[in-house]
A = this chain, B = another copy of it.
């Protein structure tokens, strides 16, 4: 921890690009909503209403929010199974996301995908991917398409530290660099793969940043629990990509407050490590910072209350939705709406 604390900037830190105050309150709002949403999702799991698996990003909100605030509406998001926050960050409706976790008809994908595959093309949330690595290569494809269409869209792709050790990571980074694609790769280094510390299975200390040079890229390492830093890094990387400078690889150091997935209490982690990171929770930290920057506490309280109300409403709406129509089992394998494989 000392090492991290050392690197933690004193006072009011800046990323490459300093954020105006209205952006910073918007980021705070996003983080508070994410936190409220995921805490509720966890409660609903305990009540047996969220089925299957789910992977919370509690503690990692500053990454999704900082990048979300820096993206244009036309930019693309690609996320992992730990993608609730990234989905909300693009504006997907909370109720639909909650209903998807609960396997209801009102779900974002009517229950067909589940928590691990949240997708809302309407919001340019191009999917959550549950097999480690693949989506880095897919994000390249969206960036390639943007480039060929001269569309100016940037693809932003989130993944974990553990993902840096799989082959697809390597192939994606190299191709992105060679083709100078407008794609930003964001490694959320939360120090653990599932139950194994990343340091025990990785040849370098910083799984993403220490490998940037292998793709001709500059290493970028930020405090992922500091939304100003993530926002600043996001702005810089996205603008670099949008202006034809090619890909960027950002490593954001962060921590998940809970276990890997819903059933995991995360007990394998040393108490001191957990405690130290809880002390660096991005949300209270940002709250203090905003107060220090002159934001009226009433504004923040209102954000917090509204977020809570929104979560309550979303949960109610999701719970009110029926299970999906069973005809969906055979629907939408093909573009014709069906799944027939024969004459």
Q: What string of 1s and 0s marks CB contacts (under 8 Å) between A150-192 and chain B?
A: 0000000000000001111111011001100000000000000
Q: What string of 1s and 0s marks CB contacts (under 8 Å) between A115-135 and chain B?
A: 000000000000000000100
Among candidates B171, B177, B203, residue contacting A174 with C-beta atoms closer than 8 Å: B203
CB distance from A252 to the nearest CB of B (A): 19
Among candidates B167, B173, B177, B217, residue contacting A171 with C-beta atoms closer than 8 Å: B167
Chain copies in the assembled complex: 2
Contact of A215 with B by CB under 8 A: yes
Which of chain B's residues have a CB closer than 8 A to the CB of A276?
Answer: none
Contact of A210 with B by CB under 8 A: yes
Which of chain B's residues have a CB closer than 8 A to the CB of A210?
Answer: 213-214
Contact of A24 with B by CB under 8 A: no
Assess the B214–A202 pair: CB atoms within 8 A. Answer: no
Assess the A201–B214 pair: CB atoms within 8 A. Answer: no
The interface size bin for chain A is 20 to 34
Contact of A52 with B by CB under 8 A: no
Contact of A9 with B by CB under 8 A: no
Which of chain B's residues have a CB closer than 8 A to the CB of A201?
Answer: 174, 178
Which of chain B's residues have a CB closer than 8 A to the CB of A165?
Answer: 170-171, 174
How far does the alpha carbon of A203 sit from the alpha carbon of B176 in the complex, in Å?
9
Interface residue ranges of A193-242 to B (CB < 8 Å): 200-204, 210-211, 213-217
How far does the alpha carbon of A168 sit from the alpha carbon of B165 in the complex, in Å?
10
Which of chain B's residues have a CB closer than 8 A to the CB of A178?
Answer: 200-203
Which of chain B's residues have a CB closer than 8 A to the CB of A168?
Answer: 167
How far does the alpha carbon of A170 sit from the alpha carbon of B203 in the complex, in Å?
11
Among candidates B133, B166, B204, residue contacting A214 with C-beta atoms closer than 8 Å: B204
CB distance from A162 to the nearest CB of B (A): 11
Assess the A166–B171 pair: CB atoms within 8 A. Answer: yes
Which of chain B's residues have a CB closer than 8 A to the CB of A214?
Answer: 203-204, 210-211, 213-214
CB distance from A279 to the nearest CB of B (A): 30
- Given A203-B216, A204-B213, 5 further pairs, Cβ under 8 A: A166-B170, A167-B169, A203-B215, A204-B214, A204-B215
